[in-house]
Amino acid sequence: MKILFVFLASLICQIAWAKTYIRADAYVEVKSGKTIGNAIIVVEDGRIESTKGNLNDAGPDDEVIDLAGKTLMPGLFDMHVHLIGNKLLKGAARVQESDQLALLAGVENARKLLMAGVTTVRSLGSSSYGDIALRDGIRAGYVIGPRVFASGPALGITGGHCDNNWMPRERDIRNAGVANGPWEVAAKVRENIKFGSDVIKFCATGGVMSKGTKVGVQQYTLEEMQTLVSEAHRRGLIVAAHAHGTSGIKDAIRAGVDSVEHASYIDDEGIQLAVENGTYLSMDIYVTEYILGQGIADGIPEENIAKERTVGKIQRSNFTKAVEAGVKMVMGTDAGVYPGFADSPKQLSRMVKFGMTPAQALQAATINAATLLKKQDEMGSLEEGKLADIIAVAGNPLEDISLLEDVTFVMKEGRVYKR
């Protein structure tokens, strides 16, 4: 009996995980917004075992990764992406893409995000449940990509921003998330949950990239939004509202959404409501540069370009106001509207340009996002016990935020993807 016990105990010791020691010049402690010098982070079984490691403790089976000259920080979170589809297809051309081909394009989009240092994304709307399949495929190890929190099809009114208005009536094309009236909306939330959604996305107002919608005009009524949010929250899902227009933003916040996406025409009352309700804003202030630059050459229809010309400017000045008022913020870029998914971290420097400190921008892209997802105990900072999502840049990102545009090392859950 005793011999058996000793044997089992020694077996357990032997199959203990080999550890990885990552040595770097410093790491960013995102909560305090400070760097801690001479970092040695110890990773075991996909998690951070210690942030105060000692290389003398490394055993013969352990790995030491030497990142001299680099600063470590938690992997980035992009809280607004559209993973599925070939994003070079614009307007009506998108309708011709099969769900299967769109998913294969999504595999490549996901890989690019991960390689750019984005280890967690929230997928807010795909024309099919492809984003749910991609999430599961990444989890299963079939393909590589960030950890995905996926919405599946976004809910919206008939003819609204979350519908598909590119084809004439006889083609009978509508988006899978179309639902009108409180009970249809509740049923659609239930359907999305049935097919695996982690989060509910809906369109509260018109948008820039859709046909025939006005950004300022509210689409769902307050009553529809209240039903949607209570149904989702009762089932434990968070809710993201696409809202550019002033009244739609405020009704979405009153209805209790967890985040408002875009928030372009938010007014002082909306800012106040967001502060009072603890609502996160996810303002995609980088994408304007793509739409009004390369987007024109890429064939974005004039109708959409014209809308962007007014929205972009106002969104940026309202971003500054919201930051000054102390609204909670996450980084959401709308990757997918711009096809180069690796550009996601470019938004960080724009967030600093329009009013955040570098520390605030990093918090928006890490711990704030983890908190929005209700996963702040699992991810979003380099702390003992959390998942080992670790990236590195050359130099101190608190001094030069644009360093995040060149992430040289990517680890997700303890596995190295880029080095």
284 is annotated as an active-site residue: no
CA–CA separation, 207 and 228 (whole Å): 20
Q: Does 350 bind ligand ARG (CB under 6 A)?
A: no
Q: Does 154 bind ligand ARG (CB under 6 A)?
A: no
The footprint of ligand ARG on this chain (CB under 6 A) covers a number of residues equal to 13
Q: Does 331 bind ligand ARG (CB under 6 A)?
A: no
Side chain identity, residue 127: S
Choose, by CB under 6 A, the member of 150, 287, 379, 393 that binds ligand ARG.
287
Choose, by CB under 6 A, the member of 85, 130, 160, 207 that binds ligand ARG.
207
| Distance (Å) of CA 85 to CA 95, 152, 293 | 11, 13, 21
Give kind and range of the element (H or E) at residue 120.
Answer: strand 118-123
CA–CA separation, 51 and 43 (whole Å): 9
Of the candidate spans 205-213, 230-238, 391-399, 402-410, the one that interacts with ligand ARG by CB under 6 A turns out to be 205-213
CA–CA separation, 295 and 287 (whole Å): 10
188 is annotated as an active-site residue: no
Of the candidate spans 14-22, 115-123, 225-233, 280-288, the one that interacts with ligand ARG by CB under 6 A turns out to be 280-288
Beta-carbon neighbour count of residue 169 at 10 Å?
Answer: 6
Q: How far apart are the first and last CA of the chain?
A: 48
Q: Does 334 bind ligand ARG (CB under 6 A)?
A: yes
Q: What angle do the packed helices 268-277 and 302-324 form, to 10 degrees?
A: 60
For ligand ARG, the nearest residue by Cβ is 207
Give kind and range of the element (H or E) at residue 136.
Answer: helix 130-140
Q: Does 87 bind ligand ARG (CB under 6 A)?
A: no
Q: Does 288 bind ligand ARG (CB under 6 A)?
A: yes
Choose, by CB under 6 A, the member of 72, 185, 200, 209 that binds ligand ARG.
209
Tokens representing 227?
């039903």
Q: Does 308 bind ligand ARG (CB under 6 A)?
A: yes
CA-atom Rg of the chain in angstroms:
22
Choose, by CB under 6 A, the member of 39, 200, 208, 369 that binds ligand ARG.
208
Q: Give the residues lining the site for ligand ARG (CB under 6 A).
A: 207-209, 262, 284, 287-288, 308, 311-312, 315, 334, 337
Which positions are annotated as active-site residues?
Answer: 201, 334
